[in-house]
Chains A and B, each alone.
Chain A
Amino acid sequence: MEYVLELNGIHKEYGENVVLDEVSLNIKPGEIYALLGENGAGKSTLMNILFGMTVIHETGGYQGEIKVAGEEVHFTKPNDALKAGIGMVHQEFMLIPGFDIVENIKLGREDTTPTILSRIFGKNLERLNREKMVEDSRKSLDAIGLSIEEHVRVAGLPVGYMQFVEIAREIDKENIKLLVFDEPTAVLTESEADQLLSIMKTIASKGIAIIFITHRLLEVMEVADRMTVLRDGQVVASKAIADTSVTEIAEMMVGRKVADIAVVEGEAAARDSAPVVVKVDNLRVEMPGERVRGASFDIHEGEIFGIGGLAGQGKVGIANGFAGLYSSSGEVEIFGEKLNLSKLGDALRKGVAFVSEDRRGVGLLLEESISHNIMFRAMTVKRSFLRRYGPLRMLHSKRMRRHAKEMIKTLDIRCYSRRQKVGTLSGGNQQKVCLAAALTMNPRLLIVSEPTRGIDIGAKELILNYLTKLRKEEGLTIIMISSELAELRSICDRIAIISEGKVSDILLPNAPDADFGLAMSAVVKKG
């Protein structure tokens, strides 16, 4: 049987990093093909290559060969892929709420009839042929079994229907051969997701191939015919769904050597007997893209509590909810005190220091010196490093100098002066400044969000070691949020995996790979 899409030996590097290493897969017409893997496994890069996104060409192109229906192709812009019959159903809706369904389905491909002016000035002045547009849209809507009126405005439709309108739009395109569904069920309710899956089957039965990118393994088991698991840019396995199981897929997604796992015998018992100092009950945070929908967990004193999970599932939202950066609800109790989540800075005043994942946006004043960055929060919140002159407060430069020097030394911040602007430091050193600023607050609870994102290995190691040291020597309670599971497993005492805004499981670092995979894929649901 001829394949509708063949990828042979796709290889892609961003600078020094190999993000895709000899990836090959092929898809038959009418097949639902699942593409699985953690964040950063290379799924999006692969799709970017397939769609000829400009980012690929700006970074030096790719090696390998792509064949659509047996012919080799080289897409250099997204339109090329669309012309070749490859469509994408986006995770974020590419719809215009103010337009009706017909206009959305026909967006950019409106049917027109010539006018006098169009004969003079070109096709752009042709009049829209509304009748033909309505007729075509009706056909596509019927094809996916959607009985909704075609002239209804998209604004106000339930989320699921918007997704279906997107699908109808892709199907409406002539010669559509392959449809990519990128996390289509992430925003849907359960019944909508079921409906979507059945629509996918209907489409596939018409001979259109589907690439299904998702983290929900149960859905994969339900609809997909075959699947490929990517990990660190390599194909781990390509199998027919019938030959595999959820557990096996989960294991393949996560599986990697864990260099040293932090669990030391006996420590676990000691920790469990330590008092609970952080109680989180039904926390909800309205952070766009990282919504938390009712997370609950307890943390013991002196513990490094890891929070992991895939991007967009809400792990980052938890930290931001604590800090009061987004509107949130639920109960958070820290050392017996309730946090007022609606009050910005309340957490800071109650001894919670937060190292944001957005260090250039939230964490640092890039145009200010290292010394100020380390101390400005302590100055405003705790009024330390200040000297009083009657009603005025002035900087206490001597104390500041001493503290800055000390911090620069302990954290090994590479700079020529403590007055250097933070914006000129490297990512790793900026992160160290953030950490120093957090520690200057003398926190009882330290929250570090994605502390190793975008920094070099040396700085990474130093930061992780320093966190461990803080716990051991000062008994500081730490929450560490990270996308890097290996990193969490190397220093945390316990790891909560967040899926769909809730805690899906709390695991020990030495739990089997499959458990982590399953928890991330929302197969197991707890709490």
Chain B
Amino acid sequence: MADKIMQYKISILLVVVSLIFFALGFATASTMSRLLWHMILLAGLVAGLAAALTGPESTKDFVRRNKVVILFAAITVFAFLNANTSPELFFSELFTRFGRNTFIVLSLLIPVVAGLGLNFGIVIGAMSAQVAIFLAIVFGGVGFWGLMLAVIIATPLAMLLGYSVGRLFNGMKGSEMIGGMIAGIFYDGFYQFLFLWVFGGLIPLAMLFPNTAPRMMVGDGGVGVVSTIDLGQTPNYFRQAFDNVPMLSILQVMFFAMLAFVVIGIIINLAKKQDFKQGLLKPMVVLAVLAVGFGLSFIPDINTFLNQPRLAGIYALRLVFIVTVLMVVYRYVMARREGKPFNIPKHVFYLVLATAVLAFTLPADYSLVLRRVQIAVLPYMMVGGLCFGITWFLKTKLGQNMRTVGHNRAVATAAGINVNRTRIIAMMMSTVLASWGQIIFMQNIGLMTTYGGHQQVGFYAIAALLVGGATVSKASVKHAILGVFLFHAMFILAPPASIQLTGSAGIGEYSRVIAGNAVIALALIMHVWTRVKKTKKDKAKPPEAPPAAASEPAAEPAS
């Protein structure tokens, strides 16, 4: 028994500490600080359970493994305590930022897996997105479909540019990060040239498209595109065109798409004389769930609810709970059917987590806050879809090739993998995803800073990923999501907190810049520090490691 306790002492420690914070929470009156204590309790419980699940681990190892996250979480808590901001403001801002920034952060993952490091080249994806948005306006795109036109223009452009950067990176293996930065600066020159002179100068867009182009051009004898383009202006209505897609439309599209997929699948299977269930069981379950939703949408009250494009935070959390419960039940049923082992602790962990999250919706003042938080559904679904997509992709042949290339290029070559081609594909995927991410970002902001909107994209996305605990060689969906929350919480809180602390009102914006830069520097220093320590440790220990070390669970680079 005592042994068991020692084994899981890190988990026990985390839970006890968070309980103490919880108790402290009752001593304070304000919603804001109480919320903080409760969130710490939640985080402590989650971390404790997660630590218990990953197996016995020493406190030191746990701290070392998560030191970046722990540090930034501590900074965030500190800022939170000193910011004196209202919870409504904070959370609605945080969730808005999450919706618009996460996609582009996720676009960084694939190059890390393929061994290309943190892709500073996503700036180039962002540039192609902005060119595409501009052209979509010129071509007269309106609303949602106008934005889709921008996506369609951005995709081949980003593929082409991604290919060129991939080629460049193949010529400078090992220095991709600096190469990405320089390539970004290089293409930025082209970009400026394009907007300053080519559009409107070389190509007289104002004459060719008299209805759409002139309002974006510098008038009175000047040449070039204006420095800010308002995306919300008539007749384009790009502003929040994705954010404003009603849930009902999404549900309907998904239902019919899934229906078509299943029907075509059944026809193919029948034509091939295969068992029609083959490979279609899971899609059919999804279809059934969608069908229930679709059916319910005919009830007037639910129809009204679904006709909104945004979901209040309180419903989102309840939905998360329901989906989690359904998923666990589904997995249990599937495991029983196929006679496969069912990982009970892991699923209990999910249920506990979902319940804990649900608990936040119960107290009156919290539910008030959560009602004010509005989540734009489509961008969130895009982020969710990309998370699943990346996880799925890494289990395909190409994904496995990328992981192999990321681990060791020489071995990959010997195994018959075309290393250069794989790396180029990784870069193309990343650049395309980044361009989509930038479109999501721009439509949310609703204002395109023509000449500078893309420049900081790589920097902020990478900072967010690093805060989540990712490194140059290891990054996952988990790191991206955690990182976006932490980094943007810090970003929101840095100005008010620094104003409160220094008493000087002018310092707010600077503190953001300092926070952003410090994050990257600090995270990289900690990464290097770990590596130096590790090499020293490797040197000190005898070359033949004990086989016992091999039994630790395989940590996937991205899962």
* In the complex, chain A residues whose CB is within 8 Å of the CB of B61: none
* In the complex, chain A residues whose CB is within 8 Å of the CB of B395: 127-128
| A123 and B397 within 8 A (CB) | yes
Q: How many residues of A contact B (CB 8 A)?
A: 39
Whether A128 contacts B550 in the complex (CB less than 8 A), given A79-B416, A96-B404, A108-B415, comes out as: no
Partner of B547, one of A117, A157, A327: A157
Partner of A82, one of B398, B416, B417: B416
* In the complex, chain B residues whose CB is within 8 Å of the CB of A79: 416
A157–B547 alpha-carbon span in the complex (Å): 5
* In the complex, chain A residues whose CB is within 8 Å of the CB of B414: 78, 90, 94
Whether A159 contacts B411 in the complex (CB less than 8 A), given A82-B416, A128-B400, comes out as: no
Partner of B557, one of A98, A110, A152: A98
Whether A156 contacts B550 in the complex (CB less than 8 A), given A109-B415, A127-B396, comes out as: yes
Within 8 A of B (CB), among A358-381: none
Within 8 A of A (CB), among B525-559: 539, 543-547, 549-552, 554, 557
Is the C-beta of A6 less than 8 angstroms from some C-beta in chain B?
no
* In the complex, chain A residues whose CB is within 8 Å of the CB of B543: 159
Dominant secondary structure at the B interface? helix
A103–B544 alpha-carbon span in the complex (Å): 22
* In the complex, chain A residues whose CB is within 8 Å of the CB of B393: 125
| A152 and B551 within 8 A (CB) | yes
| B544 and A159 within 8 A (CB) | yes
Is the C-beta of A153 less than 8 angstroms from some C-beta in chain B?
yes
A191–B412 alpha-carbon span in the complex (Å): 30
| A128 and B397 within 8 A (CB) | yes
| A158 and B412 within 8 A (CB) | no
* In the complex, chain B residues whose CB is within 8 Å of the CB of A161: 547
| B547 and A156 within 8 A (CB) | yes
* In the complex, chain A residues whose CB is within 8 Å of the CB of B407: 96-99
Q: How many whole Å from A261's CB to the nearest CB in chain B?
A: 40
- Binary interface profile of A, 90-102, with partner B (CB < 8 Å = 1, else 0)? 1000111111100
Within 8 A of B (CB), among A117-147: 117-118, 123-128
A387–B72 alpha-carbon span in the complex (Å): 57
| A158 and B547 within 8 A (CB) | yes
A273–B551 alpha-carbon span in the complex (Å): 59
Closest to A92 in B: B410
Is the C-beta of A115 less than 8 angstroms from some C-beta in chain B?
yes
A205–B552 alpha-carbon span in the complex (Å): 36
* In the complex, chain A residues whose CB is within 8 Å of the CB of B411: 94-96, 107
Closest to B264 in A: A116
Is the C-beta of A234 less than 8 angstroms from some C-beta in chain B?
no
| B408 and A151 within 8 A (CB) | no
A447–B538 alpha-carbon span in the complex (Å): 31
Is the C-beta of A329 less than 8 angstroms from some C-beta in chain B?
no
* In the complex, chain B residues whose CB is within 8 Å of the CB of A95: 411
Whether A152 contacts B550 in the complex (CB less than 8 A), given A108-B415, A108-B417, comes out as: yes
| B544 and A115 within 8 A (CB) | no
Closest to B551 in A: A152
Q: How many whole Å from B407's CB to the nearest CB in chain A?
A: 4
| A115 and B552 within 8 A (CB) | no
A407–B400 alpha-carbon span in the complex (Å): 59
* In the complex, chain B residues whose CB is within 8 Å of the CB of A157: 545, 547, 550
Q: How many whole Å from B398's CB to the nearest CB in chain A?
A: 4
Closest to A77 in B: B416
Is the C-beta of A155 less than 8 angstroms from some C-beta in chain B?
yes
Closest to A189 in B: B544
Is the C-beta of A112 less than 8 angstroms from some C-beta in chain B?
yes
A128–B395 alpha-carbon span in the complex (Å): 6
| A100 and B397 within 8 A (CB) | no
| A103 and B415 within 8 A (CB) | no
Closest to B408 in A: A96
* In the complex, chain B residues whose CB is within 8 Å of the CB of A103: 400
Within 8 A of B (CB), among A133-186: 151-159, 161
Closest to B556 in A: A98
| B396 and A125 within 8 A (CB) | yes
A350–B1 alpha-carbon span in the complex (Å): 62
A94–B404 alpha-carbon span in the complex (Å): 11
A354–B65 alpha-carbon span in the complex (Å): 44
A107–B396 alpha-carbon span in the complex (Å): 13
Closest to A123 in B: B397
| B554 and A100 within 8 A (CB) | yes
| A115 and B396 within 8 A (CB) | yes
Q: How many whole Å from A504's CB to the nearest CB in chain B?
A: 22
* In the complex, chain A residues whose CB is within 8 Å of the CB of B412: 107-108
| B396 and A118 within 8 A (CB) | yes
Closest to B265 in A: A116
* In the complex, chain A residues whose CB is within 8 Å of the CB of B396: 112, 115, 117-118, 124-128
Partner of A158, one of B410, B415, B545, B557: B545
Closest to A121 in B: B398
* In the complex, chain B residues whose CB is within 8 Å of the CB of A128: 395-397, 400
A115–B389 alpha-carbon span in the complex (Å): 13
Q: How many whole Å from B264's CB to the nearest CB in chain A?
A: 10
A464–B403 alpha-carbon span in the complex (Å): 52
| B415 and A107 within 8 A (CB) | yes
A79–B546 alpha-carbon span in the complex (Å): 35
* In the complex, chain A residues whose CB is within 8 Å of the CB of B261: 116
| A156 and B400 within 8 A (CB) | no
A35–B107 alpha-carbon span in the complex (Å): 51
Using a CB–CB cutoff of 8 Å, the interface residues on chain B facing chain A are 261, 392-393, 395-398, 400-401, 403-404, 407-408, 410-412, 414-417, 539, 543-547, 549-552, 554, 557
Which 6 pairs from chain A and chain B are nearest by CB?
A: A108-B415, A156-B549, A124-B398, A107-B415, A96-B407, A156-B550
Give me 18 A-to-B residue pairs in the complex whose CB atoms sit less than 8 angstroms apart, sorted by A's number: A90-B414, A94-B411, A94-B414, A96-B408, A96-B411, A99-B554, A107-B404, A107-B412, A109-B416, A123-B397, A125-B397, A125-B398, A127-B397, A128-B397, A153-B550, A154-B550, A156-B549, A189-B544
Known: A109-B416, A118-B396, A157-B550. 12 other contacts (CB 8 A): A78-B414, A107-B412, A107-B415, A108-B401, A108-B415, A108-B416, A124-B396, A125-B396, A128-B396, A128-B400, A152-B551, A153-B554
